[in-house]
Structure formats: C-alpha cells, structure tokens
C-alpha cells in the first residue's frame, strides 16, 4: 500500500495578518463637533505609520508611531482624528482614506467627514 503524507506537509501555513480589525467610528463624523477614532490590532509591537489621503490620492496628514508606543503596540490601538490636515486646517466634507503601514502590511480605512 502506498502511504500518503498528511496534506499539511504540502500546504503553506495560513498567513496571519500583522494588522487586523481596522475600523473607524463614528463613521461618518462631524468634524465641527467631534472626532473619529481609528482603531486596529497589531500582532506585535512594530513601528507604524498612519497617513490620511483624499480620494484623489493627495496626502493631507501623517503620523508616525515608534514600536511599543500608542498606535504601534501589540493588540488594540486607537488614534483620534479631528478632520484636520497636518497644518491644523479643517478639511472639507467627503471621503478620506487612512492608510496604515506596519510589519510589512498595509491596510486602508475609509473615513467619512460631514458638516
């Protein structure tokens, strides 16, 4: 009889995402009276960069987090955004994209701003 090796011996291990559970709440939010909370989970401490873009691809803000700091810790991370650009000016209403890079992963969170 031919003995077959277990299937697991030939399969690639399932990839565990470094960044998981991306979210923004409330979404949309009114930047005149509140702020959005962007949240995600990281598999381990790692440097992270969060950048906000218009739907046309123009970067309007950026934040960097060193490994182990809020925003770049293993587990749940939450970061507020008040709808302002890097210069502190309130952005117009519309859809924005928050791109997070950490541990070789990239995720995008959609954030709606209303007035």
pLDDT for residue 7 is more than 60: no
Measured between alpha carbons, how far is 23 from 76 in angstroms, rounded to an integer?
A: 11
Chain segment 50-99, per-residue pLDDT in tens: 999 999 999 999 999 999 999 999 999 999 999 999 999 999 999 999 99
pLDDT of residue 4: 47
In this prediction, residue 13 has a pLDDT band, given cuts at 50, 70 and 90, of: low
pTM for the model: 0.83
Q: Look up residue 8 and give its DSSP letter.
A: G
CA 21 – CA 10 distance, rounded (Å): 30
Give residue-wise pLDDT tens across range 20-38: 999 999 999 999 999 999 9
* CA atoms within 13 Å, Cβ hemisphere of 37: 7
């Amino acid at each position: 009889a031919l003995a077959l090796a277990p299937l697991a011996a030939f399969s690639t291990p399932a990839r565990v995402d470094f960044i998981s559970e991306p979210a923004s709440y409330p979404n949309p939010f009114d930047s005149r009276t509140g702020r959005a909370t962007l949240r995600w989970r990281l598999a381990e401490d790692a440097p992270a960069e969060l950048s906000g873009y218009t739907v046309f691809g123009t970067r309007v803000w950026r934040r960097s987090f060193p490994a182990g700091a809020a925003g770049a810790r293993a587990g749940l991370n939450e970061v507020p955004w008040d709808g302002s650009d890097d210069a502190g000016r309130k952005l117009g209403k519309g859809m924005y994209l928050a791109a997070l890079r950490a541990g070789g992963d990239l995720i995008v969170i959609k954030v709606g701003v209303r007035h």
